[in-house]
Structure 1
Amino acid sequence: MRLATLRLPRRTTAARVDGDHAVEIGVRDVGELLAQPDWRERAAAADGPRHPLATADLAPVVPRPGKIICVGLNYRNHILEMGRELPAYPTLFAKYAEALIGPYDDIVLPAVSEAMDWEAELAVVIGANVRHATPEQARAAIAGYSVFNDVTARDYQNRTLQWLQGKTFEATTPFGPYLVTPDEVGGPMTMQCEVDGEVVQQADTADLVFPPAELVSYLSEILTLRPGDVIATGTPGGVGHARRPPRYLAHGSKVVTRIAGVGELVNTARRDA
């Protein structure tokens, strides 16, 4: 099953994707849907108004997650690219909901940064309360997967040892287009990022140091994960900051982020006034 959040005149709605249409489920967004214990059954049975996907205005698939937990340095090739050793534990930081944009919205390049970088990522969306989870419980708590690009202000990120300020600029982080439930996803997924038509990142999620269920289990030792929470699992090699010379997004840059079997983000970078 594939789920989306649609923007409609004066409201939003969660929807189930049926072929080339989206069927309204009857709640405001996918985050609100996931808070209901019977969300799978309700989504599968929905028979509300239908909207053509080709003209749909899609919001971030979960517009206001309670938590957005991001993982740094989680692809083996990216860790080596950045000149670091493989970590014993996940590197964690947070992002706030104001950073999120829809799958086809413009990425806002903040006026104060000259070093906005791309970071294609697989996002994990939580579908049940989970605390102190075993690996099996962690897998069962995953509602599905989505596509995420953790666009990062490298100059702000590197001002201090803490990364938050470079990671959560407003309206910089595309997320969507769908939540795809695990039964529709096979094994490892192929991820790719293009900037202005050039493939800059390409990886297989089998290269993750800490895979999704392991991350859910680890994070649940720290705090309760709740429906609609999002885990961004890290980016592979090929980021602009690691290039020599570094390469960053410019006004008008087109960024396409895709994960096979999950979906595609298509965003244009626009300089903030």
Structure 2
Amino acid sequence: MKLASLKDGSRDGQLIVVSRDLKTACIANGIAPTLQRVLDDWQFMAPQLEELYQRLNAGKVAYSFDFQPHQCMAPLPRAFQWADGSAYVNHVELVRKARQAEMPESFWHDPLMYQGGSDDFIGPCDDIVLGAVEWGIDFESEIAIITDDVPMGVSPDRAAEHIRLLMLVNDVSLRNLIPAELAKGFGFFQSKPASSFSPVAVTPDELGDAWRDGKVHLALRSSWNGNLVGQPNAGIDMAFSFPQLITHLCKTRRARAGTIIGSGTVSNKDAGKGYSCIAEKRALEMIATGEAITPFMQYGDSIKIEMLDKNGKSIFGAIDQSLVEPD
């Protein structure tokens, strides 16, 4: 099924069920007011939402309405936890190679992960508002999962059972602020502003056979200023599956329902598939010529992130945003 959060003036939005073709939607009347409420009691509420979803797809919901992505907040407008991994080690290797830094061998078997801000996510069509282009503003196209309650010490096999929903992410990065922050030895903070998410979150079964081994085997498309700049396959070159990322997160702690875990920038070793962030394009330029040519985002730029199924239909709807100055 496909779920979204409609803007209604509240912090958490109004839970709606969205049709498979993303054309119609209906409010989850009498089931749950918000997505977080569903995640807190998934076993009880998910079957009721699934039944409503099937009726919506069959055109049997009298109170349905046209689905408008720009009226959506992030599926979880705020979450108890947002942890972003870096499962595509090829991306890490390229960026480090560009600055002539060796990549530790451990990166291939011990995932990188940081904990980001989760109190104020951005809707799929909301503007990205940032104070200075000199910060080196970059998009990062990713996939994310949402879990239910996960116990500490969970194995990858059992972790897979806790994946409830998937989304797309634009994990905006401020590249020119990152080096100074990392040099402090305490991780990202100012260099990672609010992330954006796709209009809808979907259950894994919506992906059919493209969801296997804890990975999404479809192309993630990034269009910058209307030009397709990347379409790497998210199932290829993903060194750590989502269950493995959950296991990493839960080595020393539990994860509560509503935890979001990101894949990191989707990247393929085949450079012909393009890029999912500008930093990777610049890294390839540095490796080839010794100079980065492609600029970071400027005010007025747009970024669209989308994933299509094997029939060319949008699965999650599109993240479709513009970069603007503060008022």
What residue in structure 2 maps to residue 266 of structure 1?
320
Alpha-carbon separation, structure 2, partners of 1:98 and 1:227: 15
2:279 to 241, 244, 252: 241
* Native 8 Å contact 2:26 2:63 kept in 1: yes
1:31 and 1:48, CA in 2 relative to 1: closer, same or farther beyond 3 A? farther
More strand as a share of residues: 1
Could you tell me how far apart the structure 2 residues matched to 1:200 and 1:177 are? 21
Aligned with 2:181: secondary structure? Answer: coil
In structure 2, the residue matched to 1:208 is 238
Matched to 1:54, the amino acid is: Q
On the 8 A contact 1:139/1:213 being kept in 2, the answer is: yes
TM-score for both structures, normalised by structure 1: 0.89
Give the letter for the 2:306 counterpart: R
Write out aligned runs for 1:3-42 (5 A): 3-8=3-8, 12-18=13-19, 19=21, 20-26=23-29, 27-37=32-42, 38-42=44-48
Contact 2:135 2:177 in 1 (8 A): no
Structure 2 residue runs of 5 or longer lacking an equivalent are 53-60, 211-216, 268-274, 283-291, 310-314
Q: Are 2:151 and 1:130 equivalent residues in the alignment?
A: yes
Give matches, 1:134-149, under 5 Å: 134-149=155-170
Alignment of 1:57-96 (within 5 A): 57-72=71-86, 74-82=87-95, 83=97, 85=103, 87=107, 88-96=109-117
Tell me which amino acid in the other structure corresponds to 2:320: V
- Provide closer, same or farther for how the CA distance between residues 198 and 77 of structure 1 changes in structure 2, counting only shifts above 3 A: farther
Q: Which amino acid aligns with 2:206?
A: E
Structure 1 residues 111 and 55: alpha-carbon distance in aligned structure 2, compared to 1, 3 A threshold: closer
Q: Percent identity?
A: 21
Instruction: State the 1:269 CA deviation.
Output: 0.9
Structure number, greater radius of gyration: 2
The alignment yields a C-alpha RMSD, in angstroms, of 2.3
What do the CA deviations read for 1:37-89 (whole angstroms, capped 9, x no partner)?
323113124469433103761010111110000113x2143123212536131
- Taking the TM superposition and a 5 Å limit, the aligned residue runs for 1:223-242 are 223-237=253-267, 238=275, 239-242=277-280
**Could you tell me which amino acid in structure 2 is paired with residue 268 of structure 1?**
S
Tell whether 2:201 aligns with 1:179.
yes
d(CA) in 1 for partners of 2:70, 2:240: 35
| CA-to-aligned-CA distance 1:11-45 (integer Å, 9 cap, x gap) | 82111112422121243321222111323113124
2:13, 2:77 within 8 Å by CA — same for their partners in 1?
Answer: no
TM-score for both structures, normalised by structure 2: 0.75
Q: Distance in 2 between matches of 1:232 and 1:198?
A: 25
Q: How many residues align?
A: 270
Q: Which residue of 1 aligns with 2:250?
A: 220
3-state SS of paired residue (1:77) = helix
CA distance in 2, matches of 1:48, 1:163: 50
Deviation (angstroms), 1:256? 0.4
Of residues 47-56 and 186-195 in structure 1, the stretch that sits farther from structure 2 once superposed is 47-56
Q: What are structure 1's unaligned runs of at least 5 residues?
A: none
CA distance in 1, matches of 2:120, 2:187: 14
Deviation at 1:7, TM superposition (A): 1.1
Question: Letter of the aligned partner of 1:31 in structure 2?
Answer: Q
- 1:157 alignment partner in structure 2: 178
8 Å CA contact 1:120, 1:201 repeated in 2? no
Q: Distance in 1 between matches of 2:114 and 2:222?
A: 22
Q: Counterpart amino acid of 2:68? A: A
Tell me, in whole angstroms, the C-alpha distance in 1 between the residues paired with 2:62 and 2:180.
49
